[in-house]
Structure 1
Amino acid sequence: MPSQLVCRPERDLPVAVLTVSGTLDRLTGDALGVAVRRSLAGQPVKLLLDVTRLRVADPIAFGTFGSVVCQTAEFPNVPIVVCGADPGTSAALAATPDCAGVEMAVDCEAALAEATTEPAPDTIRVRLRPVPEACRQVRNLVDQACARWQRTEFAATATLIATELVANVVRHAHTTMEFTLAVRDGRLTMAVRDGSRTMPRQLDPGLTDSGGRGLRLVRELSAAWGVLPITDGKIVWTHLIPALT
């Protein structure tokens, strides 16, 4: 009999809860990855993964869990809390290198109560059309937000990166986009969600080439960045941290 895994979203924003039940193995790992990415796509304040009724079939499945869940824990500054795991599962996850940044909680209700009382990070979210004017709009938005949040140390770099992220959608994806800007734990996070499932490619342009440097610029100026594929497109995200003085 084939394995079955059920992933049911219980809450969306500001704190997302995803209940996972059934058997996790090499066959059902993809379904878990899709469900986690779908929950993260809304960019909640925190994602609680309720695994109270999850059975991990074999040690290889822990690697599956690490690859589809723990490696997304950095995106985009959304803490993931795995709650309700049995002692064996908790110990195995703690020993999985990819899961070092994932928080563990014994009781899911207590974890949810704690998460809902935490102060929400400063966040701005806007929808933009795929037109050149969107680049100017996002530059102004980021510059004004950094001033309002008294994080002007981010302004110059953040406006440059935001412009490149939005310009990439205008040039290549040609879809309406959602731009999110947030500050949490001293880090500034930006993310652009578009409706194209084509993954961005890092090019290696020559000295005389007029374009192709956008993602290289994002990579070099960011503390971390990445791409999260989702069912209806993708999210390109980036983190900035204050420069050391």
Structure 2
Amino acid sequence: MSVDCTVSDDGRRLIAELSGALGLGDVADLRVKLLKCLAEQPEALLIDLSALTLTDPLALHVFVAVRRQAARWPGIPFLLCAAEPYTGNLLRGAAYRTVPRFPTLQAAREHAGLERHTLSVLSDELLPISGAARQARNVATDACLRWDLPDLLAPASLVASELVSNVVDHAHTMMTLRVTLRPRFLHIAVRDGVAGEPLRRVNEGAASMRGRGLLLVEATAHSWGWLPTDNGKVVWASLQVS
């Protein structure tokens, strides 16, 4: 990969400083690096383009794709800043109108600060044992009661239980359950220590009342998906707040 991506923590925001020459051959690796930043669930992700040049303008579409994911989950601002003149002119085109752009990193920081709002978050560290799904339901129930979301009690409990059961049944690692309330969605995410796409397999048999699979999550949630992390993955689902 001819593009370097250096990530730093600016309070609750992440800043990804890109340098080198971006071409189509770099898009796949850069996309994964930026998705890993989103998986950390920061309050905002700022992309510093000041040291980046282009070898193929089409490679800029990677930012559209990552911004789309940021909007779906974790629902955070994704901001481009400090592009050199040629790249900046291209980013003004209609194809990139959905991606916010700022002339400097400081301007992007200030904008992210204005958009900051106090998040409602509950999280728990869970062992991959039989009682984990029950604890996940308890956390989801607690979140909905605290935040006055009675209509989401049942679906949130189901989604949390299934995401955790999938880790218990297949990943067998420690996991972090995180429930976050944002303006339009209740987000439920489970991070585990196994890389790769989560298994979408329904466990059959009367003896098992859990682990019925991600098909239930897909049927219940407004949207769901997964992102890679440095040492595993995050599987997430969103429930629309009425």
The TM-score, its normalising length taken from structure 2, stands at 0.86
From 82, 100, 118, give the equivalent of 1:103: 100
CA contact (8 A) 2:165 2:211 kept: no
The 8 Å contact of residues 16 and 45 in structure 2, kept in 1 or not, is answered as: yes
Q: Counterparts of 1:195 and 1:164 in 2: how far apart (Å)?
A: 17
After superposition, give the CA deviation of every residue in 1:154-184 in whole Å (9 maximum; x if it has no partner). Answer: 1111011000000000000000011111111
- What SS does structure 2 have at the residue aligned with 1:76? coil
State the SS of the aligned residue for 2:140.
Answer: helix
CA distance in 1, matches of 2:6, 2:194: 25
Name the CA shift for 1:208/1:89 in 2 (closer, same or farther; >3 Å).
farther
**Counterparts in 2 of 1:57-136, with a 5 A limit?**
57-67=55-65, 69-73=66-70, 74-85=72-83, 86=85, 87-92=88-93, 94-95=94-95, 100=98, 102-117=99-114, 118-136=116-134
How many angstroms apart in 1 are the aligned matches of 2:11 and 2:30? 20
Give how far 1:138 is off.
Answer: 1.3
For the residue of structure 2 that corresponds to 1:77, the secondary structure is: coil
Contact persistence 2:128–2:175 (CA under 8 A):
yes
For 1:37, which of 35, 38, 44 is the aligned residue?
35
What is the alpha-carbon distance in structure 1 between the residues aligned to residue 139 and residue 205 of structure 2?
A: 32
Shift of 1:18: 1.0
For residue 30 of structure 1, report the CA deviation from its aligned partner: 3.4
Q: Secondary structure of the residue that 2:187 maps to in structure 1?
A: strand
Larger mean CA deviation between 167-176 and 210-219 belongs to 210-219
In 1, Cα distance between equivalents of 2:89 and 2:220: 41
CA distance in 2, matches of 1:227, 1:209: 28
Superposed CA offset, 1:22-61 (max 9, x none)? 2111232233223212322221111111112222221331
Q: C-alpha root-mean-square deviation of aligned residues, in Å? A: 2.6
| Whole-angstrom CA distance in 2 between matches of 1:115 and 1:230 | 23
1:129-168 aligned within 5 A: 129-168=127-166
CA contact (8 A) 1:143 1:155 kept: yes
Could you tell me how far 1:77 is from its partner in structure 2?
1.8
List gaps (5 residues or longer) in structure 1.
none
Q: Distance in 1 between matches of 2:100 and 2:118?
A: 18
Letter in 1 for 2:95: A
Cα distance in 2 for partners of 1:83, 1:54 equals 11
**Partner of residue 236, structure 1:** 235
> Residues 13 and 130 (structure 1 numbering): CA distance in 2 closer, same or farther, change over 3 Å?
farther
Pair 1:181-2:160 in alignment: no
Whether the 8 Å contact between 2:128 and 2:172 is mirrored in structure 1 is yes
Aligned length: 236
Matching residue's letter, 1:6: D
Q: CA deviation at 1:212?
A: 6.9
Q: State the Cα distance separating 1:153 from its structure 2 match.
A: 2.1
How far did residue 187 of structure 1 move?
Answer: 0.9
Cα offsets for 1:201-223 (capped at 9, x unmatched):
33478899968742111011111
**Structure 2 CA distance for aligned equivalents of residues 79 and 199 of structure 1:** 25
Larger displacement relative to structure 2 (186-195 or 115-124):
115-124
Q: Taking every aligned residue pair, what percent have the same amino acid on both sides? A: 34
Distance 2:63 2:38 in 1: 16
Q: What secondary structure does 2:170 align onto?
A: helix
Q: Is the 8 A contact 1:81 1:103 kept in 2?
A: yes
